[in-house]
């Protein structure tokens, strides 16, 4: 028996689309399934002002022409970001957040923030204007173990920042630890006021652990940042996603890299999940006997955080009787890009007529 599930059209609140040939190759994969997405600004050079964000948005619209897809933009925070830029971003309905990359934390983060104290005026202006801060929450100190970097960020950077600027709205992006789940849960009791702390969770962090990367051979296609942790952390993320708590919502962090960049002695971080994200996510919820909780996580909670309406259109997922085939690599500018394979049976896919 084939089962179907129809939900409000989902959104992706954390997405890398790149530029040029890669943008053209990957943007339709997201636009087929998601109504809206929040686009990350870590291009080379980064998107650091409103004019660059608007121009990039036009290129995204061109790459998804004729599709019902709304890209929202982010501005890359640097120690030189002008207060005028913050004010202009807050006044632009297409810009949803400012992105904090600690310098050196991940792909194209060299222009990021070295010292959070140097951007306090910008963060104060954001708090004043109600413009959220999206954080890549990892410290970058060479002597901090890579598996501890998220927890250290919470303790050393995030919590002090929230105490200093309690009105600043913050999204912890792509959380990977039970420490982050606990921190978000403890942040305040849910009430009718606007949330000041939320967190996105990726599809891959709900499915893989560090064993996928390292046990039985090294698998570079599972390497991303923050790096996947042990299974107890993954289980805490699954519990958060299933819980319905409005502070947790889906952001794929789909981050395409050519295979030549991934399969190298110093491979880059990022997993291309966009085309399979919805089927994989449905499998995670189904395996937990919680398929009914999927819509809140992927179609409702994030819109609520960003004060946007829920999409009026829908997406239908189909549960097949046999596992679906692994998706072959896509091609961008003559290079192959491997699509995420969670190394387990996936029975769910998106119904083609609702793509
Ligand atoms: O794995 C990742 N890839 N994590 C990030 O934070 C950035 C992203 C990318 O841009 O490739
Ligand atoms: Zn990202």
Candidates 238, 248, 313, 240; CA nearest to 280 is: 238
Q: Which helix (H) or strand (E) holds 250?
A: strand 248-250
> Using CA positions, which residue lies closest to atom 7 of ligand 1?
107
Half-sphere exposure of 302 (CA within 13 A, CB side): 34
Mutate to test the pocket of ligand 1, among 17, 222, 255 (most ligand atoms within 8 A of CB): 255
Q: What is the pLDDT of residues 188-242, one digit of tens each?
A: 755 556 789 999 999 999 999 999 999 999 999 999 999 999 999 999 999 999 9
Q: DSSP labels for 196-237?
A: SEEEEE-HHHHH--HHHHHTTS--GGG--SSPP--HHHHHHH
The residue length of the chain stands at 355
pLDDT at residue 353, rounded to an integer: 85
CATH superfamily of 3-354: Metal-dependent hydrolases (3.20.20.140)
Q: What is the pLDDT of residues 290-313, one digit of tens each?
A: 999 999 999 999 999 999 999 999
pLDDT band at 112 (very low <50, low <70, confident <90, very high): very high
Q: What is the mean pLDDT of residues 44-57?
A: 97
**What is the Cα–Cα distance from 168 to 177, expressed in whole angstroms?**
23
pLDDT at residue 207, rounded to an integer: 98
> Using CA positions, which residue lies closest to atom 10 of ligand 1?
107
pLDDT band at 79 (very low <50, low <70, confident <90, very high): very high
pLDDT at residue 191, rounded to an integer: 52
Q: What is the pLDDT of residues 122-164, one digit of tens each?
A: 999 999 999 999 999 999 999 999 999 999 999 999 999 999 9
pTM above 0.85? yes
What percent of the chain shows pLDDT beyond 90? 94
Ligand nearest to the backbone CA of 18: 1
> Using CA positions, which residue lies closest to atom 8 of ligand 1?
270
Residues with CB under 6 A from ligand 1: 16, 42, 106-107, 136, 224-225, 253, 255, 269-270
Contact between 134 and 173 under an 8 Å Cβ cutoff? The reply is: yes
Q: Is 141 helix (H, G, I), strand (E, B) or coil?
A: coil
pLDDT at residue 3, rounded to an integer: 92
Specify the ligand 1 atom closest to the Cα of 257: 11
- Between the CA of 10 and the centroid of ligand 1 the distance, in Å, is 21
Catalytic residue among 11, 253, 259, 287: 253
Active site (annotated) includes residue 189: no
pLDDT at residue 2, rounded to an integer: 67
Mutate to test the pocket of ligand 1, among 253, 262, 332, 340 (most ligand atoms within 8 A of CB): 253
> Using CA positions, which residue lies closest to atom 4 of ligand 1?
225
pLDDT at residue 105, rounded to an integer: 80
pLDDT at residue 189, rounded to an integer: 52
Show the tokens assigned to 6: 């129809």
Contact partners, residue 180, CB within 8 Å, separation at least 6: 137, 150, 151, 154, 172, 199
Q: DSSP labels for 28-70?
A: HHHHHH-SEEEEP---SS---SHHHHHHHHHHHHHHTTTS--E
- Between the CA of 75 and the centroid of ligand 2 the distance, in Å, is 13
- Between the CA of 2 and the centroid of ligand 2 the distance, in Å, is 35
CA 56 to chain centre: 18
Contact between 26 and 256 under an 8 Å Cβ cutoff? The reply is: yes
pLDDT at residue 193, rounded to an integer: 66
* Sequence spans of domains, the chain: 3-354
**What is the Cα–Cα distance from 322 to 314, expressed in whole angstroms?**
25
Q: What is the mean pLDDT of residues 330-345?
A: 97
Show the tokens assigned to 109: 């983060």
Q: What is the mean pLDDT of residues 71-96?
A: 98
Mutate to test the pocket of ligand 1, among 16, 19, 46, 137 (most ligand atoms within 8 A of CB): 16
């Amino acid at each position: 028996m084939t089962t179907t599930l129809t939900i409000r059209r989902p959104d992706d609140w954390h997405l890398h689309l790149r530029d040029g040939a890669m943008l053209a190759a990957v943007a339709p994969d997201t636009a087929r399934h998601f109504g809206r997405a929040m686009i990350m600004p870590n291009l080379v050079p980064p998107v650091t002002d409103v004019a660059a964000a608007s121009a990039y948005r036009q290129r995204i619209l061109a790459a998804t022409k004729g599709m019902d897809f709304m890209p929202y933009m982010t501005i890359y925070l640097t120690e030189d970001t002008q207060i005028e830029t913050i004010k202009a971003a807050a006044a632009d309905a297409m810009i949803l957040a400012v992105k904090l990359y600690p310098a050196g934390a991940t792909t194209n983060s060299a222009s990021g923030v070295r010292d959070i104290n140097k951007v306090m005026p910008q963060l104060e202006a954001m708090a004043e204007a109600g413009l959220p801060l999206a954080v890549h929450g990892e410290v970058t100190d060479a002597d901090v173990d890579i598996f501890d970097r998220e927890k250290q960020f919470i303790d050393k950077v995030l919590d002090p920042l929230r105490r200093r600027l309690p009105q600043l709205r913050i999204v912890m992006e792509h959380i990977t630890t039970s420490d982050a789940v606990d921190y978000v849960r403890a942040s305040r009791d849910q009430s009718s006021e606007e949330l000041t702390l939320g967190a996105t969770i990726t599809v891959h962090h709900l499915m893989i652990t560090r064993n996928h990367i390292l046990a039985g051979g090294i698998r570079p296609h599972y390497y991303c940042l923050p790096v996947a942790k042990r299974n107890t952390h993954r289980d805490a993320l699954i519990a958060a996603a299933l819980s319905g708590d409005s502070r947790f919502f889906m952001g794929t962090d789909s981050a395409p890299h050519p295979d030549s960049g991934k399969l190298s002695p110093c491979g880059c971080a990022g997993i291309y999940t966009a085309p399979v994200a919805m089927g994989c996510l449905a499998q995670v919820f189904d395996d937990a006997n919680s398929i009914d909780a999927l819509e809140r996580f992927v179609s409702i909670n994030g819109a609520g955080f960003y004060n946007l309406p829920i999409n009026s259109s829908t997406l239908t997922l189909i549960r097949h009787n046999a596992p679906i085939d692994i998706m072959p690599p896509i091609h961008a500018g003559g290079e192959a890009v491997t699509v995420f394979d969670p190394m387990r049976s996936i029975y769910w896919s998106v119904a083609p007529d609702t793509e």
